[in-house]
Amino acid sequence: MSSNPVSNPERLAAACKLCGGATVHFMERSGFEIVRCGECRFMFALVPQDYDAASIYKDDIYFTSGGECGIADYDALWRRRLSHFYVPRLDRIRAFHPPARLLDIGCASGYLMRAAQDRGWQTAGVELSPEMRRRAAALTRSPIFESIDQALQSAQRFECVTMFEVIEHLSDPVGIMTQVADLLAPGGILALSTPNCDCPGAIAGEPINVWFDPPEHISYFAADTIRDCLARSGFETLAVEGLEHYCRAMAGDLTFPGWVTAILAPFRRNKRLKPGGLLGKMLERAYHGRMDLYRRTDPADLPRTDVMEVYARKRS
Ligand SMILES: [Zn+2]
């Protein structure tokens, strides 16, 4: 890693967005410089002053195109992958709060809200894309706000806010998370997920890059910096858990815990298991229906997880 913090005036100006400490060059990706704080190790991409992080997601094409930025075919992605990761988090939230009023920030077409309704929650959503807002409203019959500001102005408050894979898109994470705390009723719970930029695969970014991926992902967290960010925004972190091999699962690859790999070894003959093969197809069905097998709740396993799941309570 090269480090040359003094020759670039823009870099000198880039104080850490969490603690205000001095930052140094970490890497360059897609034409953006990424810096790391020398004090707290928070990392972020240097984006232009007038950069509007929200503009990418206001465009409906984000959800329907496989272009440079975007999530191709959101419905299939939800059905085959996201639902298996996201919905079990609603059951985890129950350990911290019984069903009441839930706001899903970045609700897309409202599938998570629908699953929350099935579990007894009254729901609302925030979604930047007009087409996704229309679909979420039709599916859930719930209010769908076009921004966090609009939700704040509504004066509605919530016992739970869910915010899955959103915070890495924010250029001012403490500012936005402070607003999110304002959306919560006293004692309300925040559940979020975000890539773990400390995990071994983060810099290589394979098989799919969910980590250092500007201009979409511009704030890069690890277990200590997400706790710090939430503490500065008015939250007390209750649990940091994670998903191991999440990215391989998202890419359709079959990666199993050690004990499954050991059982399969005689059949695989050290070859990579092909999802299209007979055994692969059988296991894809059996295994991807149980994505909780990727879930790690032991803090000792956290450094290996691709994605962190964080539960926090609004401080009174
Ligand atoms: Zn810092």
**Beta-carbon count within 10 A of 266 CB:** 7
Helices marked H in the chain: 9-13, 55-58, 61-64, 74-77, 83-93, 111-118, 130-140, 148-153, 173-183, 223-232, 246-250, 258-268, 278-288
Please give the average per-residue pLDDT across 153-174, as a whole number.
96
Highest average pLDDT, of 22-26, 49-53, 69-73, 295-299, comes from: 22-26
Give residue 16 CA to ligand 1 midpoint distance, Å.
5
Give residue 45 CA to ligand 1 midpoint distance, Å.
14
pTM: predicted TM-score of the whole model, two decimal places: 0.85
User: For the chain, give me the number of helices (H) and strands (E)?
Assistant: 13, 12
Please give the average per-residue pLDDT across 240-263, as a whole number.
73
Report the residue count for the chain. Answer: 316
Q: How far is CA 33 from CA 23, 44, 205, in A?
A: 12, 9, 16
Give residue 18 CA to ligand 1 midpoint distance, Å.
5
Give residue 90 CA to ligand 1 midpoint distance, Å.
32
DSSP H/E element including 128: none
**Pairing mode of beta strands 122-126, 101-105:** parallel
Q: What is the pLDDT of residue 3?
A: 42
**Burial group, residue 100, by CB count within 10 angstroms (0-12, 13-18, 19+):** middle
Least confident piece of the model among 29-38, 54-63, 84-93, 125-134? 54-63
Tens of pLDDT, residues 228-242: 999 999 999 999 999
Give residue 199 CA to ligand 1 midpoint distance, Å.
19
Residue 169 has pLDDT above 50, yes or no: yes
Please give the average per-residue pLDDT across 10-21, as a whole number.
81
Q: List the shell of residues around ion ligand 1, using CB closer than 5 Å.
A: 16, 18-19, 21, 37, 39-40, 42
Give residue 240 CA to ligand 1 midpoint distance, Å.
20
Could you tell me the domains of the chain? 9-45 (no CATH), 55-247+300-314 (3.40.50.150), 250-291 (no CATH)
Give residue 169 CA to ligand 1 midpoint distance, Å.
18
Output the average pLDDT for the chain: 86
Place of tokens 């197809």: 281
**Burial group, residue 116, by CB count within 10 angstroms (0-12, 13-18, 19+):** buried
Phi, psi of 142 (to 5 degrees): -120, 160
- pLDDT confidence tier of residue 143, bands split at 50, 70 and 90: very high
